[in-house]
Amino acid sequence: MNESHALTTLTDEERQFQETIRAFAEERVRPLVEKMDEEQKLDPALVGGVFDLGVMGIEIPQELGGAGASFFMSILAIEELSKVDPSVAALVDVQNTLVNNALLRWATKEQKRRYFPKLAKDTVGAYALSEPASGSDAFALTTRATLDGDDYRLNGRKLWITNGAEAGLFVLHATVDPAKGYRGITTFLVERSFPGFTVGKKENKLGIRASSTCELILEDCRVPRENVLGEIGQGYKVAIETLNEGRIGIGAQMVGLATGAWRAALAYAKERKQFGQPIAEFQAVQHDLARMAIDVESARLMVYNAARLREANLPFLKEGAMAKYHCSQVAERVASLAVEIFGGYGFTKDFPVEKFFRDSKIGKIYEGTSNVQLNTIAKEILK
pLDDT, tens digit (0-9, with 9 covering 90-100), for 253-271 = 999 999 999 999 999 999 9
Residue 139 reports pLDDT greater than 90:
no
What's the whole-number average pLDDT of the chain?
Answer: 96
For 111-121, how does the pLDDT look when each residue is reduced to its tens digit (9 = 90+)? Answer: 999 999 999 99
For 66-94, how does the pLDDT look when each residue is reduced to its tens digit (9 = 90+)? Answer: 999 999 999 999 999 999 999 999 999 99
pLDDT at 340: 98
- From residue 264, give the alpha-carbon distance in Å to each of 141, 180, 259, 261, 267: 42, 52, 9, 5, 5
pLDDT at 3: 43
The verdict on pTM exceeding 0.85 is yes
User: What is the location of CATH 1.10.540.10 in the chain?
Assistant: 12-124
For 281-300, how does the pLDDT look when each residue is reduced to its tens digit (9 = 90+)? Answer: 999 999 999 999 999 999 99
Answer for the pair 188, 231: CB distance below 8 angstroms, yes or no: no
Residue 6 — very low, low, confident or very high, per pLDDT cuts 50/70/90? very low
pLDDT (mean) for 211-239: 97
Rounded-to-integer distance, Cα 87 and Cα 2, Å: 35
pLDDT (mean) for 152-167: 98
Residue 129 — very low, low, confident or very high, per pLDDT cuts 50/70/90? very high
User: What is the location of CATH 1.20.140.10 in the chain?
Assistant: 237-381
pLDDT at 2: 46
User: What is the location of CATH 2.40.110.10 in the chain?
Assistant: 127-233
Query: Phi and psi (nearest 5°) for 78?
Result: -60, -45
Answer for the pair 174, 146: CB distance below 8 angstroms, yes or no: no
pLDDT at 376: 97
For 13-68, how does the pLDDT look when each residue is reduced to its tens digit (9 = 90+)? Answer: 999 999 999 999 999 999 999 999 999 999 999 999 999 999 999 999 999 999 99
Q: Is 367 a catalytic residue?
A: yes
pLDDT at 8: 58
CATH fold for the domain made of 237-381? Butyryl-CoA Dehydrogenase, subunit A; domain 3 (1.20.140)
Nearest to 364 by CA among 335, 338, 330: 330
Percent of the chain with pLDDT over 90: 95
pLDDT (mean) for 241-251: 96
> Active site residue: 59, 131, 166, 367, which one?
367
Query: Phi and psi (nearest 5°) for 144?
Result: -110, 140
pLDDT at 140: 87
pLDDT at 4: 40
Residues 12-124, CATH architecture: Orthogonal Bundle (1.10)
pLDDT (mean) for 141-145: 96
For 170-196, how does the pLDDT look when each residue is reduced to its tens digit (9 = 90+)? Answer: 999 999 999 999 999 999 999 999 999
Answer for the pair 209, 165: CB distance below 8 angstroms, yes or no: no
Rounded-to-integer distance, Cα 286 and Cα 82, Å: 25
Q: What is the CATH superfamily name and number for domain 127-233?
A: Butyryl-CoA Dehydrogenase, subunit A, domain 2 (2.40.110.10)
Strands (DSSP E) found in the chain = 124-128, 144-148, 151-162, 167-175, 185-191, 197-202, 213-224, 228-229, 273-274, 277-278
- From residue 326, give the alpha-carbon distance in Å to each of 135, 150, 168, 242, 350: 21, 46, 33, 20, 29
